[in-house]
Amino acid sequence: MTNRIGRSSILLASGTVVSRILGFVSAVVLARTVGLIGSGADAFALANQLPNNVYAIVAGGLLSAVFVPQIINAQLHSDGGEKFVNRLLTLGLSVVLVVTVVAVAAAPFLVAVYTQHTTDTGGHGFGPAELGLATAFAWWCLPQVFFYAAYSLVGEVLNAKGVFGPFTWAPALNNVVAIAGMLWFGQHFTGSVSVAADWDATEVAILAGTATLGVVVQAVALFGFLGRASIRFRPDFRFRGVGLGATTKLAAWTFGMIVVTQVAGIVQSNIASLATAYGEPGLAVLRFGWLVFMLPHSVITVSLGTAYFTQMSTAVRDKQWDRLESDIRESLARISLFMVISAGVLWLTATHVANVFAGEAGNGMADVIAFFTFGLVPFGVVFVLQRIFYALEDTKTPFFVQLIQSAVFTIGALLTGAGPVSLIANGIAVSMSVSIFVHAILMVIFVRRRLGHLGGKLLGLAFARFVIALVPALGVGFIVRGTLPTAPASIELSVLWSIVIAGAMGAVYLCVLLMLRDKSAHDLVAPLRRLGNKRP
């Protein structure tokens, strides 16, 4: 069973690595083209984030919370769940289509809601020209909502059926199209990217239109793999009598999570736009900083967690509670193994990573990345523990925990907004990390109440080993970083220095864990040992 999880995780991770590398390249090209601070950067960051916010919530919450367990249960039907899946896809796509049409029509309203704006910003922030530019971007970007949701719907069906690869490889197509679009834009744009008045309709269409085209390609590509999951998709609007009632009830609490998270997102966006008004790091810096934060999470946590979640849902369906508890312990240990060292590496290489996006100036991005990294480990814990409740078909508990997390973040963000505008981006990053810690602690408490003893002592000892191993790794990282130039000007050198530091830290971290006889570390190197033993 562990080997099957390992193979699924490797397949997921391989696609995610390629997609994330291309996504990272896409973000760097965008940052180097439109910058991190200025009207163009923040207007596009806001407009392109509107559909992304909905996608992140739907893919990570509603779909995983409701659809995967229900699809797995439907596999016991006489038709293998095909009728259920067809009606589920039809209902989901129909609802999202309506939501998308409303969102596109409400583009000016959404842009206004997500920003602090004035009648005169002196060339910075969201005045009339900046609001107009952001709205123009939003007209092009908001149709992404439907295609992101279609990608997620079909992807979760494939995941529930054990077809993991296409879901993680399809975003690579998205990023290829987006990179091509930005290169085209870079050739076409001749004005100042930091002044809203210099953008014309053609330039807006090239940048935002190709971004949306990439999402369309990503979604359409997945439909071709439904046959591999033994699903012949035919729209079916007969929703009665197939068991969608339970799905709808479960979705209601998750919809509440969407509302709560969106309110917190609106607060963050408004406060960040205050910084933009004074030419300080704001929306774009936070967006790119979060992208860096999500890189190890997406490659490791999502890959491992997605494979385990399907197995956990099956264990709950079959009432195999010992197997469920084993999967929980194993998934948390393996994810924490990678996230602890990833947090240390990102914290130590934040300056070099920021150089990749903005050159030697960095534009405040390094500090934002460093503060985000403190939430990386608990973010992975939350990802796993939320899905335990989803497997148990309990979406009510995650809603209330999400409510508390969002309240903590909102309070922190509001306090940040009352301080110096130059520290707003840093304050929001700190507030996010603190709220994620609170979220993780509450999820641990509620999972223990629901399932009882889960081997917390073993997990605690494993985490202690990870922290112990991180200390010498950080020491080596400091030494290596100190021998390198402090501010390399080129992207190539910035990437190279980050890889050198990460490699040195990772080697020390793994060696210490092997000396401490950590099971997860030994499992990690076991395939290499077997390969070595097979050689003559």
| Distance of alpha carbon 443 from alpha carbon 386, whole angstroms | 7
Q: Give the pLDDT confidence score for residue 513 in this predicted structure.
A: 93
- The answer, yes or no, to whether residue 375 has pLDDT greater than 50, is yes
- The answer, yes or no, to whether residue 146 has pLDDT greater than 80, is yes
Contact 174, 212 (CB under 8 A): no
- The answer, yes or no, to whether residue 63 has pLDDT greater than 70, is no
What's the rounded mean pLDDT across residues 272-280? 74
| Whole-prediction pTM | 0.74
Q: Give the pLDDT confidence score for residue 471 in this predicted structure.
A: 96
DSSP letter, residue 228: G
- pLDDT winner (highest mean) among 60-64, 117-121, 281-285, 379-383: 379-383
Contact 380, 336 (CB under 8 A): yes
What's the rounded mean pLDDT across residues 244-272? 71
- The answer, yes or no, to whether residue 266 has pLDDT greater than 60, is yes
Residue-wise pLDDT for 419-473, tens only, equals 888 888 899 999 999 999 999 999 989 988 888 766 677 888 989 999 999 999 9
| Distance of alpha carbon 486 from alpha carbon 139, whole angstroms | 42
Where residue 412 falls among pLDDT bands split at 50, 70, 90? Answer: very high
- The answer, yes or no, to whether residue 191 has pLDDT greater than 60, is no
Of 299, 306, 320, 458, nearest to 376 by C-alpha is 299
* Percent of the chain surpassing pLDDT 70: 76
Where residue 123 falls among pLDDT bands split at 50, 70, 90? Answer: very low
Contact 222, 154 (CB under 8 A): yes
Q: Which residues in 98-115 are b (16+ Cβ under 10 Å) and which e?
A: eebeebbeebeebbeebb
Residues 6+ apart with CB under 8 A from 514: 521, 522, 525
| Distance of alpha carbon 376 from alpha carbon 458, whole angstroms | 21
| Distance of alpha carbon 462 from alpha carbon 467, whole angstroms | 9
The overall average pLDDT reported for the chain is 78
Residue-wise pLDDT for 242-255, tens only, equals 455 555 565 666 66
| Residue 232 tokens, joined | 């012949």
Q: Give the pLDDT confidence score for residue 504 in this predicted structure.
A: 95
- The domains of the chain are located at 2-534
Q: Give the pLDDT confidence score for residue 330 in this predicted structure.
A: 82
Q: Give the pLDDT confidence score for residue 12 in this predicted structure.
A: 57
- The answer, yes or no, to whether residue 66 has pLDDT greater than 60, is no
Residue-wise pLDDT for 3-39, tens only, equals 555 555 555 556 667 777 887 788 788 777 776 656 6
Report the SS3 class of residue 281.
Answer: coil
Where residue 171 falls among pLDDT bands split at 50, 70, 90? Answer: confident
Q: Give the pLDDT confidence score for residue 468 in this predicted structure.
A: 96
Helical segments of 359-423, H only: 365-373, 376-391, 396-417
- Tell which wins on pLDDT, 116 or 212: 212
| Distance of alpha carbon 152 from alpha carbon 149, whole angstroms | 5
Residue-wise pLDDT for 81-95, tens only, equals 677 777 778 877 887
